[in-house]
Copies of this chain bind each other. A is one copy, B any other.
Amino acid sequence: MRKIIIGVMGPGEGATTQDIDRAFKIGCSIAQHDWILLSGGRNLGVMDAVSKGAKSVGGLTLGIIPANDNTQTSDFVDLAIVTGMGSARNYINILSSDVLVACGMGMGTASEVAMALKAKKYVVLLTDNDESKSFFQKIGGDNLKIVVNEKEAIEAVQNFLEKTSA
C-alpha cells in the first residue's frame, strides 16, 4: 500500500533561525506519524532542517534534488531523487505530496505554494510574512490553511489527510 508523503517547502539561503527551528520540529512530527517526508533535498535552510528533524526520530526522508548529482544533497536525505531540472523539480515536489507545508517564505516558497494551489493540492502555511498571508488567503480557498505554530501545522496536515482519503 502506497505510503503517505508530506512535502515541506521553505527557504534555502534565506531561512531565518525560527524557520529552521520550526522545520526541525515539523520534520520530527511527520516522522512520528509514520508519514514519509519529502523536501527539496539540498544541504541548507528548511530543506536540511526538516530532514534532520525526521531522521532524529528514525523517519524516512525523500529529497527531490534540483542538481544533476548529489554534491549539494543534505546528509539527512535517505532517498535522493536526482532530477537535473533546477526549479522545474518544484512541480514534482507538489504532485508527489499528499499535503504540503510551507515553513517560512521566500520567492521559491511562494512559487511552490501558488503552484500547489493551482494543482488543487492541500497547503499548510506557517510564516510571519503578513503580505504573503494576505495574498494567499485571498486566492487560496479551502485548500489553504494558515497556521501560527508547528502544532497547528501538523493538525492541519491531519485534517487535510482525512479529506484526501474520504
Q: Show the binding face of A for B, using Cβ within 8 Å.
A: 1-3, 5, 36, 62, 64, 68-70, 73, 75, 77-88, 90-92, 95-96, 105-108, 110-112, 114-115, 117-119, 129, 131-132, 134-135, 137-139
Contact = CB atoms under 8 A, between A and B. Distances in A.
Given A2-B73, A91-B88, A134-B131, A110 B83 contact: no
Given A2-B77, A78-B3, A85-B91, A107 B96 contact: no
Contacts of A64: 81
A153 to B, nearest CB: 21
Contacts of A73: 2
Given A64-B81, A92-B82, A114-B107, A87 B119 contact: yes
